[in-house]
Structure 1
Amino acid sequence: MKENGSLELVSSRNTARSFLGFNPISNRIISLRLHGHPFNISIIQVYAPTSTAPDEAMENFYGQFLDVLGKIPSKDMLIILGDWKTKVGKTDIKSRAVGKFGLGERNNRGNSLEEFCQANDLIVGNTFQQHPRRLWTWRSPGGNVRNQIDYVLVKRRWRSSLFSVRTRPGAN
């Protein structure tokens, strides 16, 4: 980052012209806004507290995240990427926010993420049909346990813009 707060990640003039803003909210949330046609694109990257963190830490995280969401122009295409440290799991329950092809068993924070998505008209893009090896995003040190804890969220209106949201095996 330069001294004036601008980001040195633009490598071409076209990329530099599309860059509209960058906002590091905290060590857990950052947002980026790009010029797009016909709509601008807002990207939010999140890194949620661990599942062992107190509920208060999660409430503070979601509060900050809601503040950021409230500042995103409603016409922007919104993409939210991140490590949510939660499992929404595989389910047969029909949900407006989560597909039935998640990986593993849902935990309490998975319920919270689904409720948050429903309340904010978001969908979890990587819980729709994929081969299981394209779903896991975390592997235990011994490699015996694999979980899906990273998710791509988009506004429901952009659901048809998602072609395939999947992980690449071996990617760090």
Structure 2
Amino acid sequence: MAIQPPAIDDQMTVFYSGGDKRKAGVRFMVTSNAARSVIAFQPISERLPVFTINGTVKTHIISVYAPTETSPDQLKDDFFNQLQQMLDSLP
């Protein structure tokens, strides 16, 4: 099954988890029709949001913008601790 891209004139809603400096961040962009099914958007950090949609089954979508291998160890440790805590909190 192929997914059709939205038409040029479709209204879109953007959910953004980044800070004001726009150095990092993750976005979800959905059509206005799909936005009606959004029941939660939780920006855990600028690198880690959880997007929850309601449908036949409640679905949690996690997007990850992980630090690179050359990033400081503390930054990586903090990120992976947040990721683990978030995963543990989901059903």
Q: Distance in 1 between matches of 2:54 and 2:30?
A: 15
* Misfit runs of 4+, over 6 Å: none
- Structural RMSD (CA): 2.4
**Which one of the candidate residues 63, 85, 89 is aligned to 2:81?**
63
Higher fraction of strand: 2
Change (3 A) 1:51 1:8: closer
Higher fraction of helix: 1
**Which one of the candidate residues 12, 17, 27 is aligned to 2:46?**
27
Residue identity opposite 1:33 in structure 2: T
Structure 1 runs not aligned, ≥5 long:
2-6, 74-172
Over the matched positions of the two proteins, sequence identity in percent amounts to: 37
Choose between structure 1 and 2 for higher RCO, CA contacts under 8 A separated by at least 6 residues.
2
Residue identity opposite 2:48 in structure 1: I
Q: Distance in 2 between matches of 1:10 and 1:21?
A: 16
Corresponding residue SS for 1:23: strand
Scaled by the length of structure 1, the TM-score of the pair is 0.34
Q: Distance in 1 between matches of 2:89 and 2:49?
A: 13
